[in-house]
Amino acid sequence: MNYSKIEKDVAEFVRNTYTTSEKQYPYHNLSHTLDVVQHTSGIGEYYLLSAPEQFIVRVAAWFHDLGYTERMENHEDVGAALAEKFLETHGVDQSDIEMVKNCIIATHYPQHPLNNIEEILCDADMFHLSKKKYFDRSQSLRNEWAATRGKEFSDLEWIRINIAFLDKHSYHTEYCRVNLEKIKQKNIKKLRALESELASRESNEIGLLPAQKKVKPVKQQEYGRGVETFFRIASGNHIKLSGMADNKAHILLSINSIIISVVLSVLAKKLGEGSYLIWPTFILLLVCLISIVFAVLTTRPKLSKNKSRPHTLNDQDVNLLFFGKFHQMEEETYQSGIRELMVDRNILYQTLT
């Protein structure tokens, strides 16, 4: 398989898609993708990846943020689907396609890479955290959030958000831990110094970060009070229906338990005198027992056994509003998901739905 030819076609396809897309973002754009591809190659060479592995991780780097050209939320799924469609038309093996898709999905924050090539792509995606141009990239993300999510932050607020993110972040590959962690810590020190200076002034009149650029807002669907009312009513209806099911199950459990108790305490003594009562009694007890079993099964919650990473918040397998889906989730992952729900209104309403 001519990996070089296919990767060249991938690069041309991604470049054209970004160029012709109506949605242009200050941070998630072609420039960021080119940086990730470059850093992916550098880390991959250090680990002496084979030609197929280099191809997989580099192609995943090209596609990892391409989903932004269609939508913001769960863009990793869109990018994985675009990669799959493109690679299938170029005759790439299905096993390689699945590895490319898994690499793309692994970049969803919080990142949960499962193998070496996924770790390489995740670290390449966060490589800028340990670069001098980190502050410029951070400002681009700030502008993007302001344009697409309506989130305006003062300099002090934005600095504290960055400090919290960098403190929480850790690189996955040994290469990045050795070569990048020290530089990242220097960036954290600079941020803390800026935080102290701004906090001491108790005013944000003088901005220490680059001036916030005016970016043409990306239109986002607005929701009115009617939608809020709708969700409250729908949620109340579901709770009432669940309550009715629980009440009916409780009635069945109580009645059948009483019947069984009466049969065992009263009728069982007379079975020796009237053998003709044995089979009717047995059938009655069997029916009562089956009713109890079904009543218990009705009230038993469905608990997911899936511990895989939550790459899509609107996926039913990781719904953060139902305990049966998140009871085995790591607390840190759950908190991160809740924060994402709080920030992105579209994902919030999809989860509610």
Q: What is the pLDDT along the chain (353 residues), one digit of tens a residue?
A: 788 889 999 999 999 999 888 888 889 999 999 999 999 999 988 888 888 999 999 999 999 999 898 888 888 999 999 999 999 998 899 999 999 999 999 999 888 899 999 999 999 999 999 888 888 889 989 998 888 888 888 888 899 999 999 988 999 999 899 989 889 999 999 998 888 888 887 554 544 455 555 555 555 555 667 777 877 888 888 888 888 888 999 999 999 999 988 888 887 777 777 778 788 888 999 999 999 999 998 888 777 665 544 444 545 456 777 777 777 777 877 777 777 777 667 777 777 87
Amino acid symbol at 239: I
Q: Which residues contact 293 (CB under 8 A, 6 or more apart)?
A: none
Cβ burial 88-122 (10 Å sphere, 16+ → b, else e)? eeeebeeebbebbbbbbbbbbeebbbeeebbbbbb
Total number of domains constituting the chain: 3
Asked if 9 and 107 sit in the same domain, the reply is yes
Choose one of 85, 108, 125: the last residue of a domain. 125
Asked if 232 and 206 sit in the same domain, the reply is no
CATH code for position 29: 1.10.3210.10
Q: Which of 297, 292, 329, 299 is nearest to 313 (CA)?
A: 329
Amino acid symbol at 244: M
Asked if 216 and 232 sit in the same domain, the reply is no
In this prediction, residue 309 carries a pLDDT of 46
48: left (phi over 0), alpha (psi -120 to 50) or beta: left
Asked if 87 and 170 sit in the same domain, the reply is no
Q: How far apart are CA 123 and CA 103, in angstroms?
A: 11
Helices (H), the chain: 3-20, 30-46, 51-63, 75-89, 94-106, 116-125, 134-149, 155-168, 174-179, 181-201, 225-265, 278-299, 323-326, 331-343, 345-352
What global pTM score does this model have?
Answer: 0.58
Q: Which residues contact 97 (CB under 8 A, 6 or more apart)?
A: 83, 84, 87, 88
Asked if 113 and 181 sit in the same domain, the reply is no
Asked if 249 and 216 sit in the same domain, the reply is no
Q: Which residues contact 312 (CB under 8 A, 6 or more apart)?
A: 74, 76, 77, 108, 318
Asked if 194 and 233 sit in the same domain, the reply is no
Asked if 3 and 121 sit in the same domain, the reply is yes
Report the chain's terminal Cα–Cα distance, integer Å: 45
Q: How far apart are CA 350 and CA 341, in angstroms?
A: 10
Choose one of 125, 156, 183: the last residue of a domain. 125
Choose one of 220, 238, 263: the last residue of a domain. 220
Asked if 57 and 151 sit in the same domain, the reply is no
Asked if 138 and 208 sit in the same domain, the reply is yes
Q: Which residues contact 304 (CB under 8 A, 6 or more apart)?
A: 317, 324, 325, 327, 328
In this prediction, residue 313 carries a pLDDT of 52
Asked if 153 and 114 sit in the same domain, the reply is no
Asked if 155 and 116 sit in the same domain, the reply is no
Structural domain boundaries, residue 74: 1-125
> Based on the number of CB atoms within 10 Å of its own CB, is 345 exposed (0-12), middle (13-18) or buried (19 or more)?
middle
Q: Six-digit token pair at 110? A: 């919080």
